[in-house]
Structure 1
Amino acid sequence: MAQPKFLLQPLSAAICVACYSVAAYSTEVQPAQILTPIVVTAQQGNDANGLIVHADPKQPTQPIPAVDGAAYLQSIVGFNQIKNGGANGDVTFRGMFGSRIKILTDGTENLGACPSRMDNPTSYISPESYDKITVIKGPQTVQYAHTGSAATVIFEREPEKLTSEKPYRGQASVMVGSYGRLDHNIETAVGDETKYVRLNANRSVADSYQDGAGHTVPSDWEKWNADLAFGWTPNEDTWVELKGGKSDGEAVYAGRSMDGSKFARESLGLHVEKKNINEVIQKIEAQVDYSYNDHVMDNFSLRKFTPVDGMSMPMASNVARRTLNSRVAITTEWDNWSLVSGVDAQNNKHSARKGMMNTYKDKPRVTDMDFESYGAFGELSYQLSDQNKLVTGARIDQTQIDNLKMDTERKETLPSGFVRLESQLKDQVKTYVGLGYVERVPDYWELFSTQYYQTGTTFDHLNNEKTTQFDAGYQYEQGAFKSWASVYAGLIQDYILVAYTPTGSMGKLEAKSRNVDATIAGAEAGISYQLTDQIQADVSAIYAWGENTTDHRALPQIAPLEGRFNLRYVQDKYNLGLLWRVVAAQDRTSYREGNIIGYDVEDSKGFGTLSLNGTYNLQKGVDLSVGVDNVFDKNYAEHLNKLGSSGFGYAATEQFNNIGRNYWARISMKF
């Protein structure tokens, strides 16, 4: 796989030299005053009274700093991931999966192309290249197409704010870790008050890791991303940005019978924003974004070919998806009212070709799906009093899905909406309570990657999924003590469930989708206490519960009760941290049921892992972070984990284990 020259491994040495050179210069000019950042171990609700979580993806996380979006999100309370190997896991939130979680990058959506979600949306995201992550829990926003019923996650980059006095800024980092892990990240911008150019580039490689028992788990990867943006800011109220990017990679999967030998992405976008139009119209924003994903999976280029799972010969499958997103929104304010309204649209086409070895390259791509949607939305806020605010919204989406293989189509009208009351009692307690409703059309994977539950059914056999969910929460702060909690309960009519049955050739399991009714509930909560000026402690917990009320059994693929305990010692120049993660056993399972990625095999065992980290401010703008994950080399497997591939010698019901003891170090520089 070709790599851009500026991303090759000698960059490690160059960045380290630059770190010390810039640091030495800054010591003479301006003494260090910035406190050293901490390693992120858990995120708390910190906006909209606990409903919205903000995270800084440029901060290192523990376990080891994230290689992709799913790995980073797992550091936020409520998220888990279904792992395939070392990279490109598929994220879950509150036990919900797939298109129930809306994943956006700078307001647009990149869905990936693999029919088994080998290249899911978060696999194309390099977290450190973004400025912030916003998580909106539950169906409590309607500003984005096909609102996520479980959560809406937004990875964002901020417009540059450069001046003639300082016409540049940048940051870079290098991380090394056990099992050949090596990451480079560069972000730099040059310009002035009216224009800028920004480059984000990164590369990550790793070898296969060993679990706590010393067994090698096939899991190596190599990936790179490069994005370039040109911005124009003729005045403080106008922003125009044209951006484009490319990426590629490869990954070996212990939990799949094929590996990903190509993850090519091309993207292009134009964003325009105008503020302070008049006394009422505060902002108009518009964007159009194009992406093209070209993904190859095969069973021979990254592993020794072994005839397994009905594949008697070396095979390759090449899938692609072209996506065009557009959105226009207007923010208006008058008196105590604020309204965000707009329209959006998406068109994406999916194509595929396959063959023995690399013969697929000589075959034409065949388009098998065409998806179109158009939506309109309005989200209104009203300040009832100094203490109370009412927020409500509604949207309507019109979708059409064409199954080009069967020459059939499906048209749907999808309503969604919510209402929420936010309150602030004195300065110590903030609360929210809301009710939301979302209709979700079956996504590409549920329609095209599964067999239907009944034979002879039509393209529109699966009903739309309809979720009605209650959300509530609070934040409390009094002196050295803080606490927060979010709770939810939902009724899901026509929940789309995937079951795996041995009906294929030679008893191979086939995924079949059908509708059931379901009930879900759960909570996230945390408390923290400043023990002394230097010592901080916090505890957080998450619990998700789901019931298939049609069949009177548990909803599958829900992570068990989990708790995290953090203890941190903080000084001006350095800090030390301890993370103890405790996960309970999961006995609420449903055999061979789940989603398009995985299914329940058996009840899982509980486990606990201890991790240590520290950060030291070497000079102003230069920080060194180190960590040890799984200090006691625990041998364990997550409940949400795919079965090991028989091509690597795993038994039919054996899951692969997580990484054992893992050392890492990261040096970062800002200038």
Structure 2
Amino acid sequence: MSQCRVVIGLMSALGSIAVAADGPETLIPEVVVTGKRPAAQAAGTISSPIADARFGIPADGGDLLRRLPGVDGSRMGGHGLDPIVRGQSQNQLNILIDGAHAFGGCPNRMDPPTTLLDLEAYDSLTLIKSAQTVRHGGGGSGGTILFERHTPRFTEGEAPRARFNGGLTSNSQTQSVGADIAIGNPLAFARVTGQSRGANNYRDGHGDEVRSAYNSEAAGFAIGYTPSDSTRIEVKYDTTHDWDVLFAGAAMDSPYSNSNQWRVKFDQDVAMGSLQALRAELYSVNVDHLMDNYSLRALTGLFKMRAPTESNTAGGRFVADLATGDTDWTLGVDYLSVARDATRYWNYKSASVDVPQSYLWPDVVQDDLGFFVEGERPLGASARLTAGLRYDQVEASLSKSRANSAPVGPTWLMSPNQLYSAYYGRSAEDQTENNLGGFLRYGLEFGQGLALTAGASRSLRTADATERYLAANGNPASARWVGNPGLRPEQHHQIDLSLHKTTATWSTGLEIFHDRVDDYILRDRAHGQSGILLTDNATIYRNVEADLTGGEWTVEIQFDPRWQAGASLAYVQARNRSDERAIAQIPPLSGQLKLEHRRDSWSAGARATWADTQDRVDDDPLTGSGLDVGKTAGWWVLDLYGEASIGKHGRLRLGIDNLFDRAYAYHVNRANLDPFNPEAVQVNEPGRMLWVRASLDF
């Protein structure tokens, strides 16, 4: 009965706000997909304004992405959710923040790239599933995620633009406040953004407190020169500061994680013969991160440990758009350099935590020089062909002196090269890869709103610093975590097929895909497999053959101008063909149902999110990887949400997540991925949470 009163109160509040609102009434925009996309690009692409998301206060970009159909996210705490798209994650996804590749500073991914931005300062989120483009870097077998920010050119006499936002939640007592202000004229502009957010530990559906508190601040500015609609030069700086971030699913917390990001962009429309436009970008992203096991929690082991880390990314691209006959071309060259260094210290025979215990990343550098071409050509009035080709030269190296440095202490401590030799029979050497990939997509419109898209692609994903060079000592040996310097790049060969139907009152889409992977980079345990010399259950990496197969289905129904419903399903199955077993951390069948009612100045809706049981697991560290906690139960939760325009400039959003206060956890869960955590457990999601968000736009 009390739950019913809460629902009625929420709906009544929305109605009262709508009555009180003055000024012209405006239609609240759609959230999930915006704009009419050409048929050949409709499959597997979602583009949405971030400001229109009908959710509470997302902790970070991964939390926001997880709300989209076909996307999951592994949780380790309240912050740092790592997105998973069609069963692929981490460096299988190309994640660009305003055009820049960014890599976090934590080997255990407390700070994935989706944490290195202020969501409120970005205008749109685009998700391109699978390898449908070669424009955004090598790899990207699982997809490309673009967080984009664009400041429209000012008109003569235009007033300053300003947006102020704030929000509160129950349960975790999250508080968020921010501003986005821009001033300018047709010749130039300046834009300043800032956001502050903090959260306490939340309670799950059992009422148990979950270590999930965090604090986050972000700020940035952009200066632009816009002498005409065809010319734009921008200089941008952003900084993020996260501190006192707690993780229930790890043996350490993060006292701080800071990033500094610079970007310079040049865009010029040319219209000179076949040359249509030129674009150039330069960027750098520097991340400093610290994790330890004693400053934010009671010490549980014998020794204090801390691990300061650095991740410095620099890159750029030069792109030309051309038109020859009926074909539009994009030609480009890009460069990406990632330097990462991490050392774990402990207080072995020392009053201070300053004795090296492991050289986790022994000054690792990875450079990627890429060349790409992408073309699009209509085939008659209703068909279109899109194709792309990309070549990457990848070079990976590490500091030889660091690789040969053995920590001083017990006899079980080894240098990185000693660890590599013990498990793989080789020392680390500089590596060079020559990776060639591409894609071909055919789109056909049959008329009557029916469109078919078929695609095939080959993409190569090189091993990252952790997979190739991580060197973490541990005692017993099962606590070791050792990268493999001999890893070959993953070779993804994908095919996909989609069918979309759109009418005046409903639309639906079905997408199916199959990805056959040669040399899949598998995180596993040492069991004396081929190429693995020991059988001590240490965490290792090796190449295997794999398959990923799945599909997605969505439907939207407009019953009348005021009522709309939707549903989605997503499923992926991943198989390790070399060992004939499931691959760990793959989401089960899941979906959403929603129903919305809209008026001119307010709307309200309900959304049910659910996941099936997952019994395809790799949960035994004695025979497999043990990265799954075990078979997991299905679950469902119900969320209520609404929003209303207030006057000419205001918007209020409010809702209740997990209305029935259910206790549940996603199968993809970071708690069981930490080799230093002796117990395989899952981090439960928040219990019932009331939230409110407000914004003013001028």
TM-score relative to the length of structure 2: 0.85
1:528 to 547, 551, 556: 556
Structure 2 residue 435 is matched with structure 1 residue 414: yes
Q: Which letter does structure 1 place at the counterpart of 2:246?
A: V
Tell me the residue number matched to 1:212.
205
Tell me the alpha carbon deviations over residues 248-307 of structure 1, each in whole angstroms, 9 at most, x when there is no partner. 112100000101111110111110010134142111000100111000001122222222
Q: 8 Å contact 1:42–1:75 — kept in the other structure? A: no
TM-fit CA distance, 1:483: 0.6
How far apart are residue 46 of structure 1 and its match?
A: 5.1
- Tell which deviates more after alignment, 417-426 or 661-670: 417-426
Which residue is 2:633 aligned to? 605
Which of residues 267, 272, 280 in structure 1 aligns to 2:274?
280
C-alpha distance in 1, partners of 2:678/2:291?
A: 22
**Which residue matches 1:199?**
192
Separation (CA, whole Å) in 2 of partners of 1:568 and 1:227: 36
Amino acid at match of 2:517: I
Q: 1:187 aligns with which of 165, 180, 200?
A: 180
2: CA distance between counterparts of 1:494 and 1:44?
38
Cα pair distance change 1:640/1:458, threshold 3 Å: closer
The alpha-carbon distance between structure 1 residues 252 and 609, as it changes in their structure 2 partners (threshold 3 A), is: same
Counterpart Cα distance in 2 of 1:252 and 1:225: 19
CA shift, 1:61, in A, is 3.4
In the other structure, the counterpart of 1:444 is 465
Q: Distance in 2 between matches of 1:157 and 1:468?
A: 32
- Pick the aligned partner of 2:491 from 460, 466, 469: 466
CA distance in 2, matches of 1:373, 1:598: 33
Task: Measure, in 2, the Cα distance between the counterparts of 1:642 and 1:109.
Answer: 23
Q: Secondary structure at the match of 2:217?
A: strand
Q: Conserved in 2, the CA contact under 8 Å of 1:61 and 1:72?
A: no
Distance 1:437 1:515, change over 3 A: same
SS of equivalent residue, structure 1 residue 643: helix
Indicate the residue corresponding to 1:4 in structure 2: none
Q: Is structure 2 residue 452 aligned with structure 1 residue 431?
A: yes
Residue equivalent to 2:418: none
**1:249 aligned to 2:242?**
yes
Aligned equivalent of 1:666:
693
Please tell me whether the aligned partners of residues 349 and 367 of structure 1 are also in contact (alpha carbons under 8 angstroms).
Answer: no
For residues 353 and 651 of structure 1, the distance between their equivalents in structure 2, rounded to whole angstroms, comes to 22
Tell me by how many angstroms 1:174 deviates. 0.4
Instruction: Tell me how many residue pairs correspond in the alignment.
Output: 630
Distance 1:543 1:198 in 2: 42
Displacement of 1:214 after TM fit? 0.6
Is the 8 Å Cα contact of residues 44 and 77 (structure 1) preserved in structure 2?
Answer: no
CA contact (8 A) 1:567 1:577 kept: yes
Q: Does 1:320 align with 2:313?
A: no
| Correspondent of 2:679 among 652, 660, 670 | 652
Deviation at 1:370, TM superposition (A): 1.4
Q: Write the distance in 2 (CA, Å) between the matches of 1:474 and 1:647.
A: 43
**1:185 CA drift (Å):** 2.4
RMSD across aligned positions (CA): 3.0
CA deviation vs aligned residue, 1:406-444 (integer Å, no higher than 9, x gap): 362111101110000112222512221110001121111
Separation of aligned partners in 1, 2:435 and 2:248: 38
CA distance in 1, matches of 2:265, 2:57: 30
The residue number in structure 2 matching 1:331 is 321
Of residues 585, 590, 607 in structure 1, which corresponds to 2:613? Answer: 585
CA distance in 2, matches of 1:458, 1:176: 42
Match of 1:94 in 2: 86
Aligned residue type for 1:611: D
1:324 counterpart letter in structure 2 = A
SS of 1:531's equivalent in the other structure is strand
Q: Choose 426-435 or 86-95, whichever is displaced more.
A: 426-435
- For the structure 1 residues 509 and 257, does the alpha-carbon distance in structure 2 shift closer, same or farther, using more than 3 Å as the test? farther
Q: Aligned letter for 2:164? A: A
| 3-state DSSP of counterpart to 2:684 | coil
The corresponding residue for 2:587 is 559
Note closer, same or farther for the CA distance 1:97–1:239 as it changes in structure 2 (3 Å cut): same
Equivalent residues in 2 for 1:36-115, closer than 5 Å:
36-37=28-29, 40=31, 48-62=41-55, 64-115=56-107
Go from structure 1 to structure 2 and tell me whether the alpha carbon gap of 1:99 and 1:651 turns closer, same or farther (over 3 Å shift).
closer
Amino acid at match of 2:91: S
Following superposition, the deviation at residue 403 of structure 1 comes to: 2.2
Structure 1 position 400 matched with structure 2 position 395: yes
Name the counterpart of 1:387: 382
Mapped to 2, the partners of 1:623 and 1:654 lie a distance apart of 40
- List per-residue Cα deviations over 1:464-483 (Å, max 9, x = no partner): 11100002213211221211
| Contact 2:567/2:593 (8 A) holds in 1 | yes
Are the aligned partners of 1:37 and 1:615 in contact in 2 as well (CA < 8 Å)? no
Take 1:279 and 1:198, find their aligned partners in 2: how far apart are those partners?
35
CA distance in 2, matches of 1:252, 1:106: 28
- Runs of at least 5 residues in structure 2 that lack an aligned partner in the other structure: 1-17, 404-427, 529-534
Distance 1:656 1:45 in 2: 39
Q: Which moved more, 1:442-451 or 1:467-476?
A: 442-451
Please say which of residues 121-130 and 180-189 is displaced more in the overlay.
121-130
Distance 1:447 1:242 in 2: 35
In 2, Cα distance between equivalents of 1:598 and 1:221: 29
Matched residues in 1 for 2:582 and 2:680: separation? 20
Shift of 1:43: 9.1
Paired AA for residue 586 in structure 2 = I
The alpha-carbon deviation at position 459 of structure 1 amounts to 5.6
Contact map agreement 1:322 1:349 (CA 8 A) in 2: yes
1:176, 1:296 → 2: CA distance? 28
Q: Distance in 2 between matches of 1:264 and 1:93?
A: 26
1:348 aligns with 2:338: yes
TM-score scaled to structure 1, two decimals? 0.88
Give yes or no for contact 1:576–1:614 (8 Å, CA) kept in 2: yes
Contact 1:410-1:459 within 8 A present in 2 as well: no
One-letter code of the match for 1:659? Answer: P
- Given candidates 495, 499, 503, the residue that maps to 1:478 is 503
Q: Displacement, 1:52?
A: 1.9
What do residues 81-126 of structure 1 show as CA deviations (whole Å, max 9, x unaligned)? Answer: 1100111011111111111111001221011121111111112133
